[in-house]
């Protein structure tokens, strides 16, 4: 008998899917998992830091994690305390990540791009008692900012600077703590305990602290890399920041749950350093957001790098242009590269393409639902939409966060009574269960009553021979409500592109209401440190540049 929903609709035609229930979920804490994996693969490379030449086997990495954990205990840091980490990608970031996990200390990820007011808010909202920080990075003087905000953070009692005497004091404090202290504490922890707070980069108001458990992030890291066939033989270049789920979950935990190798190519993203790391370390996998892969492919000496060891990787964090994806598969040799989709609040991945999917599925969709996860697309009334119809993407399962730290009302607004996380993303589920993301609900442009999805226009404009990258936003218009504005980065040597010339290119290829009225040429786009485009900021800047302010 064919199942039907309450309205009598054939359930197989609805935008709902549940992932497989195998392999089983990891029912252990992050610390217990590291202990188990280190016992299985003690001599495997666990961590490599290219800039310094430092490397750790799993046995060495696990031992050093324990030293740092004992040092934290020696400084009075204990289970349930919040420890902020403020640093670019360094080996110590990863060591602290696992040391806090073994103690049940909640790691608070501080965005390396924070300024003083953002830092002050995150430290106070989370109640951090300790901060581990780099002294500085690029133009950011972390020490000066911490000196500025510390008097306003009553819970903050200790600041530890990497590479300085305070870091050595942490290591020395370990000597005063019994060797079995960490193991005894780890044995008291549970997989559902909170272990990580990540602040979401909201476009309005203060960010919210997504609170994640061992179960959330250990399993998500495991299933992300399980989906691309990771084993203990894989070696991953992690060019994305650790402070974000892409780095610390999909990257670090994706590796350590399989006995694979974490490779840090540089402190901040450097396209040449990333490819050099692939070559030097014979990496099998590479992570990045689309802008990172574009930068790597555009290197003048790209053809000179030996990338023959690459087989896979993940492109995520932003819309993935079809042409860029295809070049990664051919020019970079990442024939099993995967697209992943998710958000911080879901640990982060909910859907992913498979490594043996055909080219169309791996370039035109964000894949199918992950194991042990449910997804659905809902219409504005909250009902499950028919397959093929756009609506809000919702997800439910082990990966949904515990909640926003100390913000029950905002948690309830995001996670409904049935446990569904409402993402705010517009998605479409195809008849075959594969999903596409057509944009954010707030990014959708309504021009003269027509719903316009920027992603569709962007994908079309990537085919223009002079366009290297493009982002589309809506801007206010007295007649149509909104109009289309395309921000365009031209290829090197291309002639400037006018709005009139672009409209000619689009004519007879796009519906008239989708053709950009405005063009803004740019060398870069406003984006977060993780490479996500700030479309809200682009819209505001477009209004100013085009003189569209009301009145």
Q: In sequence order, what DSSP letters do the residues of 79-115 get, joined into one string?
A: TT-EEEEE-SS-HHHHHHHHHHHHHT-EEEE--TT--
What is the reported pLDDT for 289? 85
Instruction: Tell me: do 259 and 171 sit in the same domain.
Output: yes
Instruction: Examine the pLDDT at 525 and tell me if it is beyond 80.
Output: yes
Instruction: Tell me: do 492 and 402 sit in the same domain.
Output: no
Give the C-alpha separation, 269 to 432, whole Å: 37
- From residue 200, give the alpha-carbon distance in Å to each of 18, 204, 242, 259: 26, 11, 14, 30
- Are the C-beta atoms of 440 and 370 separated by less than 8 Å? no
Residue 345 counted as domain residue: yes
Share of residues in the chain with pLDDT > 70 (%)? 96
Q: What is the 3-state secondary structure (H, E, C) of 169-213?
A: HHHHHHHHCCCCHHHHHHCCCCCCCEEEEEECCCCCCCCCEEEEE
Instruction: Tell me: do 85 and 163 sit in the same domain.
Output: yes
Residue after which a domain boundary falls, among 429, 460, 485? 429
Residue 529 or 496, more confident: 496
- The mean per-residue pLDDT over the stretch 151-168 comes to 98
Instruction: Tell me: do 525 and 419 sit in the same domain.
Output: no
What is the reported pLDDT for 513? 85
Collect contacts of 91-94 with beta carbons under 8 A, ≥24 apart: 91/47, 91/49, 91/52, 91/54, 91/56, 91/264, 92/132, 92/162, 92/167, 93/242, 94/47, 94/242, 94/248, 94/252, 94/262, 94/264
Residue 8 counted as domain residue: no
Strand partners, 132: 85, 160
**Ranges 2-6, 96-100, 468-472: which has the least confidence:** 2-6
The band of 252, judged by pLDDT with boundaries at 50, 70 and 90, is very high
Q: Where are the alpha helices (DSSP H) in 417-545?
A: 454-461, 499-506, 535-545
The band of 224, judged by pLDDT with boundaries at 50, 70 and 90, is very high
Give the C-alpha separation, 136 to 149, whole Å: 15
- The mean per-residue pLDDT over the stretch 180-203 comes to 92
Instruction: Examine the pLDDT at 158 and tell me if it is beyond 70.
Output: yes
Q: What is the 3-state secondary structure (H, E, C) of 242-306?
A: CCCHHHHHHHHHHHHCCCCEEEECCCCCCHHHHHHHHHHHCCCEEEECHHHHHHHHCCCCHHHCC
Instruction: Tell me: do 451 and 424 sit in the same domain.
Output: no
Residue 3 counted as domain residue: no
Instruction: Tell me: do 412 and 539 sit in the same domain.
Output: no
- From residue 359, give the alpha-carbon distance in Å to each of 233, 326, 330, 365, 543: 26, 8, 11, 10, 38
The half-sphere exposure of 127 on its side-chain side, counting CA atoms within 13 A, is 7
pTM reported for the whole predicted model? 0.86
**Ranges 32-46, 82-96, 451-465: which has the least confidence:** 451-465
Strand order in the sheet with 349-352: 54-57, 45-49, 261-264, 235-237, 285-288, 312-315, 338-342, 349-352, 368-369
**Ranges 62-66, 124-128, 152-156, 319-323: which has the least confidence:** 319-323
Q: Is 515 helix (H, G, I), strand (E, B) or coil?
A: coil
Residue after which a domain boundary falls, among 396, 429, 462? 429
What phi, psi does 390 have (nearest 5°)? -75, 150
What does the angle CA 235 – CA 222 – CA 316 come to, to the nearest 5 degrees?
75
Residue 127 counted as domain residue: yes
Residue 117 or 122, more confident: 122
Share of residues in the chain with pLDDT > 90 (%)? 82
- Are the C-beta atoms of 95 and 167 separated by less than 8 Å? no
What does the angle CA 266 – CA 347 – CA 458 come to, to the nearest 5 degrees?
70
Q: State the average pLDDT for the chain.
A: 93
The band of 201, judged by pLDDT with boundaries at 50, 70 and 90, is low
Residue 497 counted as domain residue: yes
What is the reported pLDDT for 202? 52
The band of 10, judged by pLDDT with boundaries at 50, 70 and 90, is low
Evaluate the omega torsion of the peptide bond into residue 23 and state whether it is cis, within 30 degrees of 0: yes
Instruction: Examine the pLDDT at 1 and tell me if it is beyond 70.
Output: no
Residue 234's domain spans which residues? 30-429
Instruction: Tell me: do 355 and 293 sit in the same domain.
Output: yes
What is the reported pLDDT for 523? 94
* Closest of 353, 347, 350, 349 to residue 366, by C-alpha: 353
What is the reported pLDDT for 291? 82
Give the C-alpha separation, 94 to 248, whole Å: 8
Residue 10 counted as domain residue: no
Give the C-alpha separation, 218 to 92, whole Å: 19
Instruction: Indicate the pairing of strand 450-452 with strand 45-49.
Output: unpaired
Instruction: Tell me: do 419 and 452 sit in the same domain.
Output: no
Residue 290 or 185, more confident: 185
Instruction: Examine the pLDDT at 428 and tell me if it is beyond 80.
Output: yes
Residue 110 counted as domain residue: yes
pLDDT in tens, 101-116: 999 999 999 989 888 9
The band of 498, judged by pLDDT with boundaries at 50, 70 and 90, is very high
Residue 110's CATH number: 3.40.50.12780
**Ranges 126-130, 218-222, 321-325: which has the least confidence:** 321-325
- Are the C-beta atoms of 285 and 237 separated by less than 8 Å? yes
For 367: left if phi > 0, alpha if psi spans -120 to 50, otherwise beta; the answer is left
Instruction: Examine the pLDDT at 204 and tell me if it is beyond 50.
Output: no
Residue 2 counted as domain residue: no
Instruction: Tell me: do 517 and 389 sit in the same domain.
Output: no
Instruction: Tell me: do 241 and 385 sit in the same domain.
Output: yes
Residue after which a domain boundary falls, among 429, 461, 482? 429
Instruction: Tell me: do 330 and 397 sit in the same domain.
Output: yes
- From residue 412, give the alpha-carbon distance in Å to each of 126, 342, 401, 419: 19, 19, 12, 10
Instruction: Tell me: do 370 and 480 sit in the same domain.
Output: no
What is the reported pLDDT for 531? 66
Domain count, the chain: 2
Residue 461's CATH number: 3.30.300.30
Class of residue 418 by CB neighbours under 10 A (exposed 0-12, middle 13-18, buried 19+): exposed
Highest-scoring range by mean pLDDT, 234-248, 316-330, 499-513: 234-248
Give the C-alpha separation, 31 to 187, whole Å: 9
Give the C-alpha separation, 240 to 251, whole Å: 8
- Are the C-beta atoms of 368 and 19 separated by less than 8 Å? yes
Evaluate the omega torsion of the peptide bond into residue 348 and state whether it is cis, within 30 degrees of 0: yes
């Amino acid at each position: 008998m064919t199942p039907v929903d309450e309205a009598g609709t054939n359930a197989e035609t609805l935008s709902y899917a549940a992932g497989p229930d195998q392999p089983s979920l990891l029912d252990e804490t992050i610390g217990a998992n590291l202990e188990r994996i280190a016992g299985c693969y003690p001599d495997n490379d666990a961590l490599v830091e290219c800039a310094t030449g430092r490397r750790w086997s799993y046995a060495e990495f696990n031992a050093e994690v324990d030293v740092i954990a004992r040092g934290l205990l020696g400084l009075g840091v204990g289970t349930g305390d919040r420890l902020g980490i403020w640093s670019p990608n360094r080996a110590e970031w990863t060591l602290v990540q696992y040391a806090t996990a073994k103690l049940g200390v909640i790691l608070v990820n501080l965005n390396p791009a924070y300024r003083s007011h953002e830092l002050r808010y995150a430290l106070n909202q989370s109640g951090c008692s300790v901060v581990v920080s780099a002294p500085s990075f690029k133009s950011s003087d972390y020490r000066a900012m911490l000196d500025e905000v510390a008097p306003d953070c009553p819970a903050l009692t200790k600041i530890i600077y990497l590479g300085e005497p305070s870091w050595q004091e942490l290591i020395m404090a370990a000597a005063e703590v019994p060797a079995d202290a960490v193991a005894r504490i780890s044995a008291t922890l549970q997989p559902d305990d909170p272990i990580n707070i990540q602040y979401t980069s909201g476009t309005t108001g203060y960010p919210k602290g997504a609170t994640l458990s061992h179960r959330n992030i250990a399993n998500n890291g495991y299933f992300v890399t399980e989906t691309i066939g990771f084993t203990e033989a894989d070696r991953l270049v992690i060019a994305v920041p650790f402070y974000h789920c892409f780095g610390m979950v999909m990257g670090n935990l994706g590796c350590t749950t399989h006995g694979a190798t974490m490779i840090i190519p540089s402190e901040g993203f450097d396209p040449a350093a990333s490819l050099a790391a692939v070559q030097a370390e014979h990496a099998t996998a590479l992570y990045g957001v689309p802008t990172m892969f574009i930068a790597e492919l555009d290197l003048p000496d790209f053809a000179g790098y030996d990338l023959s060891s690459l087989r896979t990787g993940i492109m995520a964090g932003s819309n993935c242009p079809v042409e860029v994806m295809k070049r990664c598969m051919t020019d970079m040799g990442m024939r099993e590269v995967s697209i992943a989709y998710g958000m911080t609040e879901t640990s982060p991945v909910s859907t992913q393409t498979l490594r043996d999917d055909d080219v169309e599925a791996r370039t035109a969709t964000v894949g199918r639902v992950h194991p042990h996860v449910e997804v659905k697309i809902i219409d504005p009334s909250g009902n499950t939409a028919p397959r093929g119809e756009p609506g809000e993407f919702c997800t439910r399962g082990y990966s949904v966060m515990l909640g926003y730290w100390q913000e029950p009302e905002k948690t309830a607004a995001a996670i409904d009574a049935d446990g569904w996380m409402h993402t705010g993303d517009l998605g479409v589920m195809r008849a075959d269960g594969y999903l596409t993301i057509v944009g954010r609900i707030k990014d959708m442009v309504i021009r003269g009553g027509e719903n316009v999805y920027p992603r569709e226009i962007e994908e079309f404009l990537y085919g223009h021979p002079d366009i290297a990258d493009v982002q589309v936003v809506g801007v206010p218009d007295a007649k149509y409500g909104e109009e289309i504005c395309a921000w365009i980065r031209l290829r090197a040597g291309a002639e400037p592109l006018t709005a009139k010339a672009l409209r000619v290119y689009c004519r007879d290829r796009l519906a008239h209401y989708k053709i950009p009225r405005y063009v803004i040429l740019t060398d870069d786009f406003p984006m977060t440190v993780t490479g996500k485009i700030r479309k809200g900021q682009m819209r505001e800047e477009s209004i100013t540049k085009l003189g569209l302010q009301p009145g």
